[in-house]
Amino acid sequence: MGSLSEAKGAPVALVTGICGFTGRYLARELEDAGYRVVGLTHQANNESNWLTVDLTDRAAADAAIASVQPDVVVHLAAIAFVAHGDADAIYRVNVVGTRNLLEALAKSTHKPRVVVLASSANIYGNADVEIIDEDVPATPANDYAVSKLAMEYMARLWMDRLPIVFTRPFNYTGVGQSVNFVLPKIVDHFRRRAPLIELGNVDVSRDFWDVRSVAQSYRRLVEAAPVGGVFNLCSGRAYSLREAIATLESLAGYRIEIQVNPAFVRANEVTRLSGTNARLLAAVGTLDDYTLPQTLEWMYRA
């Protein structure tokens, strides 16, 4: 197979997990910035610039990188659903898959200018601070968070060979996110005018950001290439699920009955997760920003 990086002029951006929620928004951001975007996905597809690759297959990862020869890389591919039931798969995809990608990039004759890795703010766990910055010690409280922290430690073994940037996204949402996630589930109920919704703990607070701001953050980090840096991707504002429901009740014009389902109450639930994006903004400049009510209205009216 010939190299996919042979297009004239435009630098090649490789986005793993491109078929996911974030990947599609990031692809548009990078294309608008002049990149030729090539995607890796584990799903069969008909897109001319997407390769179907299982990154847990070392040989397949090697072949994909040899074909693409990317100038920049954003690695989003992961099992990102905290309540995913298969712990073996979480570690295999999030740690081993990332290692195979980094090994393939390090062996490539065409070295990328920057490799941006998506970790997670879940690594902070129940941090005993009001606002979390990047120096807060990691205390992961579930397998997903442990897998992302393990990925970070593993990736540091490659920093003498690759220009790596780490990101720790907090919760974010937007049009197109699966209803497996709590805010899209809530929005879907209001759009259907459902009289009742079953949820877990509605008093947990999260730093919910907008996927459009997150995609812009990744693109800006690709451009700035602050190699070796670790960056929270967050709004700096925390909202409870109860506040989100109140916003949607106002938009939809009715009250919904909330029923707490014990099956949805997670063990080791992180009660509050709110960050500061000061380091990110210092590295990339001002970003488009949206409050959670603005994001929820966008989702509700979409």
What is the pLDDT averaged over residues 158-185?
Answer: 96
Which letter does DSSP use for residue 20 in this model?
S
- pTM, two decimals, is 0.93
Asked whether residue 28 is domain-assigned, the answer is yes
Question: Which CATH number does the domain housing residue 122 bear?
Answer: 3.40.50.720
Report the pLDDT value the prediction gives residue 122, as an integer from 0 to 100.
92
Asked whether residue 126 is domain-assigned, the answer is yes
What rounded mean pLDDT belongs to the chain?
93
Least confident of 52-66, 99-113, 267-281: 267-281
Domain total of the chain: 1
pLDDT digits (tens, 9 = 90+) for 96-120: 999 999 999 999 999 999 999 999 9
Report the pLDDT value the prediction gives residue 83, as an integer from 0 to 100.
63
For the four alpha carbons of 101, 118, 47 and 7, in that order, the dihedral sign comes to negative
Domain that holds residue 67: 12-174+210-236+274-289
* Cβ atoms of 45 and 52 closer than 8 Å: yes
For residue 189, pLDDT over 60 is answered with yes
> By percentage, how much of the chain surpasses pLDDT 70?
95
Strand (E) or helix (H) holding 296: helix 292-301
What is the pLDDT averaged over residues 232-255?
Answer: 97
Alpha-carbon distance of 164 to 225, in angstroms, equals 8
- What does 59-125 look like in DSSP terms, one character per residue? HHHHHHHHHH--SEEEE--S---TT-S-HHHHHIIIIIHHHHHHHHHHH-SS--SEEEEE--GGGG-
Asked whether residue 252 is domain-assigned, the answer is no
Q: Under DSSP, is residue 48 helix (H, G, I), strand (E, B) or coil?
A: coil
